[in-house]
């Protein structure tokens, strides 16, 4: 068995960068050696309002002094309030709170299957998903994502997920059978490499689901809560799902997820059919409500769209100047991807040296996920550092240049 030397009691599941952060302020992360980094990794699209946002800190502190946890045996007013606000602002009528994205997906999958079951179709339990998808790391969600690298060695793949090529309508139609319950898709594949599903394709999915009696389930764990410049990414396509999984940005750094559904889709989720100990606990609800206080304010999302344009223009210049480093720019809002010519790890590493943090994604993409409240000056600072990083990669990869 090959293994790295035992230097840490922590599972060896993560390839961590050798840096330790002590505190954060907005878009900045400060390491234990005093170095300041512009944080465009954002805890992987989680720190939607940057670090230590005063309104979030205040909400968490105030709740911490009152009540942490009671369980779902009792009414939790903050939970009802957050559910009311989320259902008010979206297609949904019902919410189930979780601690993570994968759990929100588990709830979404169970809700879809249960809907078919209570509507006289117990045979309909299969869900069609797309190649390159990422839905989490539980046994069911790795089966839904279908990526061999995440499935290998973990026993039989959970039954009931049929994967088709990204964007392939013919394959999708062929995959739908008498046992199909739902279609599950990310409006933009995040981990998969910022691959954008067209509005036209999403509208086709909505029509197909309606025609076939299937539920449309969206995974907006990464794309949701303002990330693309709308409250949820599907709004750009003018459609609504039946069920939607949300997490990451909604907690701004506090573990929080939610499964949202229409009244009809959630009707089968009666007492005892699903549950959670921590989900919707008072601390998480206080933070979730505080995030919405900021995000649902008039004009908040305008900044996401403006800063997105600013970054895209800046990246377009870099695409021209460093064709040996960058081959494509993609994404919406502040969910942006830079496809690299060489390994994406090289640009991420040079970025860290230059003082800007970014996150890897599949398809050799580097993700830029700044806080949604970032200012124009902070974008400029981060992009200057990105430019330095690209120059660094360019200098260390002369072979590519002459090719
Ligand atoms: C991160 C992510 C998940 C999983 O969320 P966890 O909180 O890590 O369980 C699921 N779907 C998408 C699209 C994600 O980006």
Does 323 lie in the same domain as 205?
no
Domain tally, the chain? 2
Look up residue 233 and give its two tokens.
């990414």
Q: Which of 385, 382, 381, 340 is nearest to 364 (CA)?
A: 340
Between CA 4 and CA 275 the distance in angstroms is 39
Task: Say if 7 falls within a structural domain.
Answer: no
Query: Residue 23 corresponds to which tokens in the numbers above?
Result: 């505190």
Q: Do residues 196 and 335 lie in contact, with contact meaning Cβ atoms separated by under 8 Å?
A: no
Query: Does ligand 1 lie within 6 Å of residue 354's CB atom?
Result: no
Shared domain check, 165 and 30: no
Contact residues for 359 (Cβ-Cβ < 8 A; gap 6+): 40, 41, 42, 44, 45, 348, 366, 367, 369
User: Mean pLDDT per 10-residue run, the chain (403 residues)?
Assistant: 68 95 98 98 98 98 98 98 98 98 98 98 98 98 97 98 98 98 98 98 98 98 98 98 98 98 98 98 98 97 98 98 97 98 97 98 97 98 98 81 47
Q: Do residue 277 and residue 323 come from a single domain?
A: no
Same domain, 373 and 281: no
- Residue 220, annotated as binding a ligand: yes
- Domain check: are 258 and 120 in the same one? yes
Is 337 marked within a binding site?
A: no
Does the CB atom of residue 251 touch ligand 1 within 6 A? no
Residue 401 in any domain: the answer is no
Residues 46 and 119 in one domain: no
Q: Are residues 248 and 333 in the same domain?
A: no
**How far from 287 is each of 78, 201, 214, 323, CA to CA, in Å?**
10, 35, 34, 43
Domain closes at, from 232, 266, 295: 295
pLDDT of residue 6: 65
Q: Ligand 1 mean position to 65 CA, how many Å?
A: 30
Burial (CB < 10 A; 0-12, 13-18, 19+), residue 44, is: middle
Q: Are residues 206 and 266 in the same domain?
A: yes
Q: Which of 13, 98, 102 to mutate to test the pocket of ligand 1 (most atoms within 8 A of CB)?
A: 102
Element housing 257 (H / E): strand 257-261
Q: What is the per-residue pLDDT for 5?
A: 56
CATH number at residue 35: 3.90.1150.10
Domain hosting residue 130, numbered range:
67-295
CB 267 within 8 A of CB 115: yes
Atom in ligand 1 nearest the alpha carbon of residue 44: 1
Residues 303 and 291 in one domain: no
The pLDDT value given to residue 4: 53
Is residue 186 within 6 Å of ligand 1 at its C-beta?
yes
In the block, which residue shows the tokens 């709830």? 107
Note whether residue 62 is domain-resident.
no
- Which domain-ending residue is among 246, 270, 295? 295
The catalytic residues are: 134, 219, 248
Q: Is there a single domain that holds both residue 45 and residue 80?
A: no
């Amino acid at each position: 068995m090959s293994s790295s030397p035992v230097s840490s009691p922590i599972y060896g599941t993560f390839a961590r960068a050798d840096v330790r952060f002590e505190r954060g302020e907005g878009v900045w992360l400060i390491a234990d050696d005093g170095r300041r980094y512009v944080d465009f990794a954002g805890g992987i699209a989680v720190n939607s309002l940057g670090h230590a946002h005063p309104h979030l800190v205040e909400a968490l502190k105030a709740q911490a002094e009152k009540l942490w946890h009671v369980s779902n045996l009792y009414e939790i007013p903050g939970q009802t309030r957050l559910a009311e606000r989320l259902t008010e602002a979206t297609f949904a009528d019902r919410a189930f709170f979780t601690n993570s994205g994968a759990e929100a997906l588990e709830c979404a999958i169970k809700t879809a299957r249960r809907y078919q079951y209570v509507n006289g179709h117990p045979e309909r339990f299969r869900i069609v998903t797309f190649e390159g998808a990422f839905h989490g790391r539980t046994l069911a969600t790795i089966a839904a994502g279908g990526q061999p690298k995440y499935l290998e060695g973990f026993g039989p793949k959970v039954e009931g997920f049929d994967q088709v090529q990204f964007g392939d309508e013919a394959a999708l139609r062929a995959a739908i059978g008498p046992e199909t319950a739902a279609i599950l898709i990310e409006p933009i594949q995040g981990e998969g490499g910022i691959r954008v599903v067209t509005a036209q394709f999403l509208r086709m999915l909505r029509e197909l689901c309606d025609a076939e009696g299937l539920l449309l389930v969206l995974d907006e764990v990464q794309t949701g809560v303002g990330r693309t410049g709308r409250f949820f990414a599907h709004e750009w396509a003018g459609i609504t799902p039946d069920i939607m999984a949300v997490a990451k940005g909604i907690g701004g750094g506090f573990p929080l997820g939610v499964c949202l559904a229409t009244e009809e889709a959630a009707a089968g989720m009666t007492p005892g059919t699903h549950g959670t100990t921590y989900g919707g606990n008072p601390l998480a609800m206080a933070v979730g409500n505080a995030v919405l206080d900021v995000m649902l304010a008039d004009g908040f999302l305008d900044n996401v769209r403006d800063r997105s344009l600013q970054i895209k223009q800046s990246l377009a210049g870099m695409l021209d100047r460093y064709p040996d480093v960058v081959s494509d720019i993609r994404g919406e809002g502040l969910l942006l991807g830079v496809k690299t010519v060489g390994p994406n790890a090289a640009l991420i590493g040079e970025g860290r040296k230059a003082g800007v943090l970014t996150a890897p994604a599949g398809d050799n993409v580097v993700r830029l996920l700044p806080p949604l409240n970032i200012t124009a000056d902070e974008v400029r600072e981060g992009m200057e550092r990105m430019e330095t990083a690209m120059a660094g990669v360019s200098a260390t990869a002369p072979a590519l240049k002459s090719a």
